[in-house]
Structure 1
Amino acid sequence: MKLIRLPKVMDYTGLARSTIYKYIAEGTFPRPVSLGSRASAWVESEVQEWILTRIEERDAQSETV
């Protein structure tokens, strides 16, 4: 298991910091793991799974069109 910090999450997803935290608040993005009082990181596999789910949703939509 690998933990990644916010800049890497932003790089993987192409999302801005504010959008990532908005999606977390909505419950549609993986929550970070607290590493201390001022540090957090995400489980890399959870972020990758979130990306794969977006791709699957896209492909499912294109099949129904």
Structure 2
Amino acid sequence: MLLSIGDVSSITTLSRTSIRRSVSSGRFPKPVRLLERRQAWLENDIYDWLDTAVAKQKAADGSTSMTEAAQ
């Protein structure tokens, strides 16, 4: 499934500006260009990025991941 920047912002709680900056710096998945002025993110890329971010945080402080907390 494809996600707009608004969808990605809602899922990650990052602002649109933060998303764009993170993409530019290589810290966030790059969007897929659909048309000259239209891009979207692959849903799997976003959730994989979130899982990695949670795993890093968990390793740093021993907290529970969002996936485990939801179960």
TM above 0.5, yes or no, is yes
Identity of aligned residues (%): 31
Q: What is the CA RMSD across the aligned residues, in angstroms?
A: 0.7
Q: Which amino acid aligns with 2:31?
A: P
Gaps of 5+ in 1: none
Q: Which of the pair has the greater relative contact order for Cα pairs under 8 Å at 6+ separation?
A: 1
Residue-by-residue CA offset, 1:10-58 (whole Å, 9 max, x unaligned): 0000000110011011101000001101110000000001011110011
After the TM superposition, which parts of structure 1 deviate over 6 Å for at least 4 consecutive aligned residues? none
**TM-score normalised by length of structure 1:** 0.90
Q: Which amino acid aligns with 1:16?
A: S
**TM-score normalised by length of structure 2:** 0.83
Between the aligned partners of 2:29 and 2:45, the Cα distance in structure 1 is: 6
Q: Which residue of 1 aligns with 2:27?
A: 28
